[in-house]
Structure 1
Amino acid sequence: MSFRLRRSVTAYLMLLPTLVLIGVFVVYPIVDSFIISFYKWDMLSANKPFVGLQNYVYIFEDPLFHTALKNTVLYVVFFVPIVLALGLLTAVLLNAKIRLLPLFRTAFFIPYVTSLAATGIVWQWIFNDQFGLLNYFLERAGLHPQDWLNDPRWTLFNIITIGVWQNLGYVAVIFLAGLQNISREYYEAADVDGATPWQKFARITLPLLSPTTYFLLILTTIEAFKVFLQIYVLYGETAGPNNSGMTLLYYMFTKGFGDYRMGYACASAYVLFLIVFVFTLAQMALSRRVHYEA
């Protein structure tokens, strides 16, 4: 056996435990769920009649799926730009030389590593219409309090607020890493030319931060399509009043573990995958505008 072959065999043997785990817990569930999407199965019976594409047809005929798709798209459209803009603003502020900077960085990152299920009670209290903190500030400002949890008009607002709160720290930390990788020579040259702070931000910071922004754009978009926990924490199994908080992932959860229509739920999971895949391809077209520092 040659040295190159022995080295390859050794490498694959070292990778084998990881490959086995990936195969058992990632590849096999993906393939099996795709197969199940062509069957009618309630998880309780061994009988699984083959229905072909019927599950996929029913999905697009279901009005509740249209509601879930609309709510998910609205969530993505609002959540992604808001969390990116606030994350960049936070990163710029944290990048400044201020006292207790490590403490502020930790404070912003804590929501991302804190279980949302554990903080759900706090958010229910904040949005409570009787003694909630949000209505308290509205009354102090002379404004009319709102029924945040029972009014369908505020459902998406509530979900987006919690989503931004939870992910802001992570986005800010990634932006902060990108800011600290920009060479100070660019700013020193701009100072010599008499550039204003806004000109330096628009002509230096934003272009050189484009790889980080592009990475976060794809990441937060995928994360937005998977919105589920915020809804479950606030509304439980109701998905908000009049299904105003129904999203694609919540729809899949309801069909699979509420109605026990596992084949239908698997089909809806692959519809969600296809939608995310199309959005990701569209975002990849923006890669030509990404400026990588030489």
Structure 2
Amino acid sequence: MDIWHLKNKYIIKFMLVIVFIYSLQCAGSSMIIAENRTWLLKSEAQKNKTVNIQIQSQSLISKEAVIKSEIKEIDMQTLVEIETITETSALVPQAAPVEVVAPVAPVVPITYQMPTASNLSDEMKAIWEKKVIGTDQWNTLIEKVSVEEGIDPIFIKCVMAIESGGYQQAHNTKNANGTQDYGLMQVNSSWGSYFDYDKMLYDPEYAIRSGIQVVRRKVILAEKSGVQPTVFEVLWRYNGKSARGKIYAERVTKLYNNLSGKTENELVLIKKTENA
């Protein structure tokens, strides 16, 4: 029994030793596995960190490229601006004073709707149509010269109608006092050397302008007499302040009224000269 018990005792001890050794091996394996797992986790973390660093590095490289591009573009714009400033400075001397020019108001010309024979009433056509048709060809020139001289061109057209009917070479040599009348406006030779009468027969603009000068003198004479220079008054003085001249003024005033729509009391608008 003692031997058997002793044998069992050794067997039990042996088994305990084996179990202890096995336990040690298991614990070692667990530690190795844990260490391996920890290493793997650290390795994965390091790998992820490396990848993140690479991504951040690439991002920084891209941003750096964009910044360099923007800097280059800014440098180019700055260079262009500097060159522009340099060129402008070369063209405009910096020391030269800059003259400030005040805005000039636009010149508004006086315009007239020049009438023709077609604007005559039926009653006036029976009397004036032929003479007014003769003046229609001069409408543009009448308007040009009259506006330059500051007088109503329709008034001048009416004077031309009764004086010459628009016939440029009109020349009257039958005046009772021996004087003669020349051109479109039939300017009388009593003005002496003030006019070039022969020129009126071939220069229509000179003829019209000469007639307007006569009208200007009649306006001045009326004003000096204390009379308003109305259409009727100036027409009367243009032909001569007589009974016959009054009939003349009445006839032409009716024509003026018909073509312009204005009355006989309309003032003959004219620009006064400095020596008038």
Tell me which of the two structures has the higher relative contact order, counting C-alpha pairs closer than 8 angstroms and 6 or more residues apart.
Answer: 1
TM-score grouping bracket, smaller chain normalisation? under 0.3
More helix by share: 1
Instruction: Give the structure with higher Rg (CA).
Output: 2
Task: Give TM-score, length-normalised by structure 2.
Answer: 0.25
